[in-house]
C-alpha cells in the first residue's frame, strides 16, 4: 500500500514544552523575590546573575545595607562602613567594590563575601558614575558629577587591585549611564548630559570610540554586565520612567522584552544575553521589586518561523509566526549639507539625497550607508522640487525647478551623472517611483497642476494613464514601481490616495490626515509610510501614517515636525526621513530612521 504521508505529509513534533523563539527577542522577564529594603541608585555587582546577586547602599537616608540574592530571596549581610547612595558597584557576591558617595567623595570599599573594608580612594570624587570589572581589575567608567551642583564629567579611571589611574576620557561627558564589559573592553550606554542621551561608546583598553546609538535615549543609574559583546540595558528615564530593554549584539541595539515594572536607577547585573537581574529602582517612588531576565540556553530548542509541533502538556497543536512590534523613529546620521525640497530614493541603509535648496538651489548629492552620509558627484543641473527613482548605484532624477520648470532627466551609474532624454512635459513638485530603467513620473505643476503620467524605459519617456486628481508638492520621495505606483496627499491639503497598475490610476482609501508641502513617503503599493509635510496652515506636522495595501493607520510621529523633506526605504517596516524645513529655523540636516521590531511567537492552531 502507498504511504500517503510519505508523499504529501510532514512530521509534527511532540514536545512537552514550547521551544524558545529565535534568539534574544524571545527572552522574558519574570518576577523574583523583593529586596528587604526598597531603594534606588544602589550599587550592584555587575557580574551578579539570577542566582547570585549583590546590592549595596542606596539613596534612602542614605543606606548602608547590603543584600545578597540566592535565586529566590534577598538576605541582609554586613553593612557598608559608610552609608551612601548615587554610587557605583561592581564584582560578585564574594568579591565586590563600592565606589563613590554623596556628595561626591572618592571613597571605595571592598567586600570579601562577609564584610566591607575601606581601600584606596579614586582620584576624582563623584556621584552617579558607573563601574565594571573585578576587585583586582575594575574600570571606572567616567560619568558622574562632583556633587548635586557640579557639571557632568568624562573622567575615566582604571583600578589595578591596589590603586587608581586616570586614563582617556569618554568623548561625551555624562552621568547615570549603563553598559557592560571589563578593564580591556567595555560599553558605556546612554545617560544624561543635561538631557537624556542615546550615545554609546566602546572602550578598547586605551580609548573610547562612539558606536551605534541606543534606540531610546535615556538615563539609568545602575546595573551592568561583564559581557561587552552581548548585554542588556533595561528601564531608565526618558521623559518618564520606562520598562524598555535593549540588547547589544556587538554591533547594534535591538529592543527586546520589556520589564514588568517600569523604573529607573535600578541595580542589576548578569550575562545580559541569557541571564540578568534588575532590583529596586524608582517607579516615581522607590521600589523593592526584582525581575529576572532569561534567554535561550545552550540546550534549549530554538523555533523558527513556520514550524509546527504538538505540545503534549497542553494537548495543543502549535505553530510559530512572525510578530511585528510597534514602529518608532530614531535619530540617524546628520547630512553634510542641510537642505529642503530635494529628491530621495533607495533604502534605509542605502539612500540617495539629490539636489534641493539650501536657500539657493543645489546640485549636491549624498549617499547614506545606514549610519552616515557621504558626498558624491553632483548632478549636472542644480534644482529643487525634483523627483527620483532607482538605487544608490543606478539612480534617476527628473523634473523640478531650475528655474524655469525643468524637463531634464539625469542618470547616475554609481559614480557620475549624465543627461538623458527629457520628460515630455516639464514639471516640478511631481511624484516619482520605480527603477532607473522602469521609472514613473506623475502629476506636479507645469505652471498649472497636471494629471499627466510618464513612463521611462531606460532611454525615453512615454505617456501613461492620467491620475484622477491633479496635485503637486509630492516630490522628495519615491513609492512603488512603474506598474504598481502609489501617490497620496498633495497641494490643497489633499487626503486622496491613488494606485497605478501600469495602465490606469484608481482611487483607494484616503489618508487620515491631509498633507502637502512635500511630506516624505516611501515604500511600495502594499507597504508604505508617509511622514511630515504640512497638514495645512500653520506649520509642519510630525504625523506618520502606515499603509498596508488597503488602509492608512496613524503610527508614531517623527521626533521633529518638518516639511520639504526627502524619504527612502521599504515602507511601513523600514524607512528613512531626511532634510526639511522648520519655520523660523534654517533648513535641516536631520535624519530619522523608522524601524519595526520583529519577533517569532508560538501560537495555538484551531483544529476544530
Q: What distances in angstroms separate CA 450 from CA 384, 429, 467, 470, 473, one per listed residue?
A: 18, 10, 9, 5, 12
pLDDT digits (tens, 9 = 90+) for 208-244: 999 989 999 999 866 566 666 677 888 889 988 998 8
- Judged by DSSP in three states, 343 sits in strand
Per-residue pLDDT, 22: 45
Nearest alpha-carbon partner for 292 in 272, 307, 275, 304: 275
Per-residue pLDDT, 6: 54
Evaluate the CA torsion angle 550, 552, 556, 559 in order and state its sign.
positive
Which of 294, 313, 342 is the last residue in one of the domains? 294
**Judgement on whether residues 314 and 425 belong to the same structural domain of the protein:** no
Phi, psi of 521 (to 5 degrees): -150, 135
- How many Å apart are CA 452 and CA 442, to the nearest integer? 6
What's the grid cell of residue 549? Answer: 495595501
**Judgement on whether residues 216 and 303 belong to the same structural domain of the protein:** no
Sheet of 544-547: strand order equals 520-523, 528-531, 544-547, 552-555
What's the grid cell of residue 185? Answer: 573592553
Residue 149 counted as domain residue? yes
**Judgement on whether residues 226 and 308 belong to the same structural domain of the protein:** no
Residue 2 counted as domain residue? no
Residue 606 counted as domain residue? no
**Judgement on whether residues 215 and 335 belong to the same structural domain of the protein:** no
**Judgement on whether residues 165 and 310 belong to the same structural domain of the protein:** no
- How many Å apart are CA 598 and CA 389, to the nearest integer? 28
**Judgement on whether residues 202 and 223 belong to the same structural domain of the protein:** yes
Residue 589 counted as domain residue? yes
- How many Å apart are CA 348 and CA 370, to the nearest integer? 6
Residue 604 counted as domain residue? no
**Judgement on whether residues 434 and 577 belong to the same structural domain of the protein:** yes
**Judgement on whether residues 316 and 408 belong to the same structural domain of the protein:** no
Cβ atoms < 10 Å from Cβ of 254: 17
CATH number, position 537: 2.120.10.80
Nearest alpha-carbon partner for 195 in 221, 174, 216, 224: 174
**Judgement on whether residues 117 and 194 belong to the same structural domain of the protein:** yes
Q: Which structural domain range is residue 436 located in? A: 328-597
**Judgement on whether residues 263 and 311 belong to the same structural domain of the protein:** no
Strands 302-303 and 20-21: parallel
**Judgement on whether residues 315 and 336 belong to the same structural domain of the protein:** no
Chunk the chain into consecutive blocks of 10 residues (it has 608) and report each block's average pLDDT, rounded to whole numbers: 54 73 62 91 64 82 85 91 82 83 76 91 84 76 76 89 90 89 85 92 90 90 64 87 85 82 84 75 91 68 72 81 77 95 95 96 96 96 96 96 96 97 96 95 94 96 96 84 93 87 96 91 94 82 93 92 94 94 91 82 66
- How many Å apart are CA 263 and CA 201, to the nearest integer? 23
Residue 345 counted as domain residue? yes
Q: Which phi-psi region, left, alpha or beta, contains residue 434 (left: φ > 0; alpha: ψ -120 to 50)?
A: left
Q: What distances in angstroms separate CA 94 from CA 36, 139, 227, 386, one per listed residue?
A: 20, 18, 19, 66
Per-residue pLDDT, 3: 57
**Judgement on whether residues 237 and 378 belong to the same structural domain of the protein:** no
Residue 319 counted as domain residue? yes
Tell me if the bond preceding 311 is cis, omega within 30° of 0: no
Amino acid at each position: 500500500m502507498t504511504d500517503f504521508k510519505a508523499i504529501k505529509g510532514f512530521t509534527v513534533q511532540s514536545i512537552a514544552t514550547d521551544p524558545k523563539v529565535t534568539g534574544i527577542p524571545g527572552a522574558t522577564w519574570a518576577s523574583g523575590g523583593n529586596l528587604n529594603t526598597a531603594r534606588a541608585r544602589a550599587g550592584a555587582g555587575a557580574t551578579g546573575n539570577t542566582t547570585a546577586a549583590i546590592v549595596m547602599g542606596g539613596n534612602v537616608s542614605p543606606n548602608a545595607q547590603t543584600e545578597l540574592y540566592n535565586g529566590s530571596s534577598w538576605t541582609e549581610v554586613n553593612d557598608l562602613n559608610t552609608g551612601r547612595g548615587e554610587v557605583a558597584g561592581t564584582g560578585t557576591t564574594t568579591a565586590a567594590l563600592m565606589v563613590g558617595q554623596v556628595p561626591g567623595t572618592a571613597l571605595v570599599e571592598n567586600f570579601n563575601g562577609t564584610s566591607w573594608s575601606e581601600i584606596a580612594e579614586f582620584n576624582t570624587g563623584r556621584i552617579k558614575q558607573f563601574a565594571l570589572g573585578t576587585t583586582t581589575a575594575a574600570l571606572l567608567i567616567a560619568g558622574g558629577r562632583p556633587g548635586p551642583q557640579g557639571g557632568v564629567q568624562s573622567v575615566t579611571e582604571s583600578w589595578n587591585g591596589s590603586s587608581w589611574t586616570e586614563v582617556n576620557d569618554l568623548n561625551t561627558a555624562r552621568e547615570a549611564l549603563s553598559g557592560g564589559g571589563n578593564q580591556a573592553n567595555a560599553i558605556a550606554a546612554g545617560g544624561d548630559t543635561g538631557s537624556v542621551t542615546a550615545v554609546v561608546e566602546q572602550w578598547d583598553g586605551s580609548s573610547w570610540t562612539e558606536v551605534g546609538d541606543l534606540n531610546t535615549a535615556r538615563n539609568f543609574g545602575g546595573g551592568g554586565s561583564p559581557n561587552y559583546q552581548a548585554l542588556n540595558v533595561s528601564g531608565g528615564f526618558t521623559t518618564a520612567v520606562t520598562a524598555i530593554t535593549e540588547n547589544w549584539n556587538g554591533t547594534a541595539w535591538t529592543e527586546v522584552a520589556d520589564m514588568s515594572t517600569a523604573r529607573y536607577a535600578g541595580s542589576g547585573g548578569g550575562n545580559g544575553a541569557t541571564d540578568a537581574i534588575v532590583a529596586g529602582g524608582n517607579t516615581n517612588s522607590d521600589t523593592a521589586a526584582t525581575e529576572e531576565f532569561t534567554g535561550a540556553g545552550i540546550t534549549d530548542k530554538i523555533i523558527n518561523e513556520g514550524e509546527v509541533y504538538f505540545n503534549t502538556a497542553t494537548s495543543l497543536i502549535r505553530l510559530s509566526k512572525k510578530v511585528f512590534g510597534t514602529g518608532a523613529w530614531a535619530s540617524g546620521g546628520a547630512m553634510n549639507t542641510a537642505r529642503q525640497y530635494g529628491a530621495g530614493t533607495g533604502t534605509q541603509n542605502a539612500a540617495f539625497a539629490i539636489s534641493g535648496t539650501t536657500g539657493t538651489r543645489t546640485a549636491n548629492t549624498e549617499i547614506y550607508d545606514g549610519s552616515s552620509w557621504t558626498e558624491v558627484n553632483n548632478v549636472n543641473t542644480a534644482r529643487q522640487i525634483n523627483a527620483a527613482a532607482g538605487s544608490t548605484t543606478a539612480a534617476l532624477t527628473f523634473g523640478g525647478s531650475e528655474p524655469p520648470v525643468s524637463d531634464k532627466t539625469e542618470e547616475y551609474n554609481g559614480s557620475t551623472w549624465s543627461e538623458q532624454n527629457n520628460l515630455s512635459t516639464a514639471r516640478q513638485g511631481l511624484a516619482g517611483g520605480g527603477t532607473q530603467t522602469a521609472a514613473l513620473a506623475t502629476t506636479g505643476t507645469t505652471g498649472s497642476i497636471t494629471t499627466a503620467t510618464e513612463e521611462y524605459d531606460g532611454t525615453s519617456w512615454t505617456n501613461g494613464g492620467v491620475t484622477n486628481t491633479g496635485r503637486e508638492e509630492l516630490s522628495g520621495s519615491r513609492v512603488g514601481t512603474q506598474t504598481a505606483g502609489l501617490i497620496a496627499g498633495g497641494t490643497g491639503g489633499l487626503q486622496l490616495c491613488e494606485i497605478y497598475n501600469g495602465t490606469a490610476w484608481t482611487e483607494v482609501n484616503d489618508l487620515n490626515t491631509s498633507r502637502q508641502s512635500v511630506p516624505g513617503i516611501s515604500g511600495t503599493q502594499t507597504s508604505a509610510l508617509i511622514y511630515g509635510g504640512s497638514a495645512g496652515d500653520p506649520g509642519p506636522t510630525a504625523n506618520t501614517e502606515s499603509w498596508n495595501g488597503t488602509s492608512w493607520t496613524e503610527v508614531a510621529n517623527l521626533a521633529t515636525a518638518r516639511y520639504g523633506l526627502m524619504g527612502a526605504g521599504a515602507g511601513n517596516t523600514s524607512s528613512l526621513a531626511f532634510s526639511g524645513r522648520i519655520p523660523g529655523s534654517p533648513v535641516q540636516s536631520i535624519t530619522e530612521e523608522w524601524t519595526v521590531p520583529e519577533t517569532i511567537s508560538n501560537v495555538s492552531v484551531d483544529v476544530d
